[in-house]
Copies of this chain bind each other. A is one copy, B any other.
């Protein structure tokens, strides 16, 4: 009965099995403008430890239980209160689901709506994580042209009307309305209202990704799209990754009960609740030191944004332009049309400077060659100056200006 040949797993996999992904070490540049990190030196490690200590003292024995499928109830209360106060959203803790950062919820929601060939409406350039997840799900992604206030409503409406006329109703509209990733703009209140009206008319759910909203350095807070929606068709996701640390993997989702109930099923079968150890630390920290910490890091990050803007102004040719975001961790660089920033990015990386070319954020993966996202959260201001100068010199040498 022996038959020691290796099994062919490929033939046994389900139709929904994910593709193979090779192991890849992400290269870390000295001047890392590639990834939207918070400042490693500002992480509130001691406060987190104290918060966890307090949480464990008070409720540590509960770690012997399997956690709530929607996540630690007091942290959900905190989130609901924060969203009511800061985002004007009508939310209770029952409508909140905690998860691994925001990306777990983004993945769950996309899988819940998108079958291969289904249409998702997005901004013309948007967060590469969501882009990859949409592509993996087989979505037909339609990016809508944006200006500095968000998606152009007439283009959005025409896009949807054309699709509906072809009996291809989009499954959802995904948007990052605040400090849009990578473009940096914030959607105006008028645009938000127009978006809700269009989505409501065509009965298309909106998926609002508000991951950077707490990192505002100037300008007026704009209410969440969720708060403007009378029909319960907006799903909302945000995270503690950018205001505490990505390594804690703690995000939150808000949505209608019809969707929450399905997330409960996914959490029940796919993880038995949300990390309670981390939730205890995040909760105790959130109710004590978090607001103060956000003020502190926003001051630091504003300085870094200003340093990057100043360095670009001093060293870059006037043929280049860039966004001036009121918050967030990146700006959007635009070079002359003929420039290809994707093909030169490896060479630039060898010189110690990392960035993500615009093609990483476009649905077709080829549009946006002359754009790049430059993040300013990681390096101190003086290093940002150095890195931008290196970039300017390399671009000049390569004849890109």
A residues sitting closer than 8 Å to B (CB atoms) are: 1-10, 12-23, 35, 37-41, 43, 45, 48-49, 52-53, 56-57, 60-67, 69-70, 94, 99-101, 103-104, 107-108, 111-115, 118, 129, 132-133, 136-137, 171-172, 197-198, 200-201, 203-205, 230-233, 245-249, 256, 258-259, 261-262, 264-266, 268-278, 281, 378
**Please, how many angstroms separate the alpha-carbon atoms of A98 and B8 in the complex?**
24
Closest chain B CB from A67 CB (angstroms): 6
Q: Is the CB of A56 within 8 A of B49?
A: yes
Q: Is the CB of A56 within 8 A of B64?
A: no
**Please, how many angstroms separate the alpha-carbon atoms of A118 and B16 in the complex?**
13
Residues of chain B with a CB closer than 8 A to A45's CB: 56-57, 60, 63
Closest chain B CB from A29 CB (angstroms): 13
Residues of chain B with a CB closer than 8 A to A200's CB: 2-4
Residues of chain B with a CB closer than 8 A to A56's CB: 45, 48-49
Residues of chain B with a CB closer than 8 A to A246's CB: 63-67, 272
Q: Is the CB of B17 within 8 A of A113?
A: yes
Residues of chain B with a CB closer than 8 A to A265's CB: 18-21, 136
Q: Is the CB of A19 within 8 A of B262?
A: yes
Q: Is the CB of B271 within 8 A of A4?
A: no
Q: Is the CB of B9 within 8 A of A258?
A: yes
Q: Is the CB of A230 within 8 A of B111?
A: no
Report which residue of A108, A114, A247 has the largest number of chain B beta carbons within 10 angstroms of its beta carbon: A247
Q: Is the CB of A64 within 8 A of B40?
A: yes
**Please, how many angstroms separate the alpha-carbon atoms of A230 and B195 in the complex?**
58
**With contacts A65-B246, A113-B13, A200-B4 known, is A100 near B275, CB below 8 A?**
yes
Residues of chain B with a CB closer than 8 A to A264's CB: 21-23
Nearest 10 pairs of A and B residues by beta carbon:
A63-B247, A247-B276, A107-B270, A40-B64, A100-B271, A21-B265, A20-B261, A63-B245, A40-B61, A18-B265
Q: Is the CB of B203 within 8 A of A21?
A: no
**Please, how many angstroms separate the alpha-carbon atoms of A201 and B4 in the complex?**
8
Residues of chain B with a CB closer than 8 A to A70's CB: 23
Q: Is the CB of B231 within 8 A of A4?
A: yes
Q: Is the CB of B1 within 8 A of A201?
A: yes
Q: Is the CB of B272 within 8 A of A203?
A: no
**Please, how many angstroms separate the alpha-carbon atoms of A272 and B2 in the complex?**
41
Closest chain B CB from A156 CB (angstroms): 12
Residues of chain B with a CB closer than 8 A to A43's CB: 60-61, 63-64
Closest to A70 in B: B23
Residues of chain B with a CB closer than 8 A to A14's CB: 111-115, 118, 137, 171
Q: List 13 A-B contacts (CB under 8 A).
A: A1-B197, A1-B201, A4-B200, A17-B113, A19-B265, A20-B258, A22-B261, A45-B63, A103-B269, A107-B269, A136-B269, A249-B271, A278-B278
- From B22, B63, B248, B273, A63 is in contact (CB under 8 Å) with B248
Closest to A263 in B: B18
**With contacts A101-B272, A201-B2, A231-B4 known, is A64 near B277, CB below 8 A?**
no
Closest chain B CB from A293 CB (angstroms): 14
Q: Is the CB of B249 within 8 A of A103?
A: no
Residues of chain B with a CB closer than 8 A to A118's CB: 14
Residues of chain B with a CB closer than 8 A to A57's CB: 45
- From B129, B233, B249, A6 is in contact (CB under 8 Å) with B233
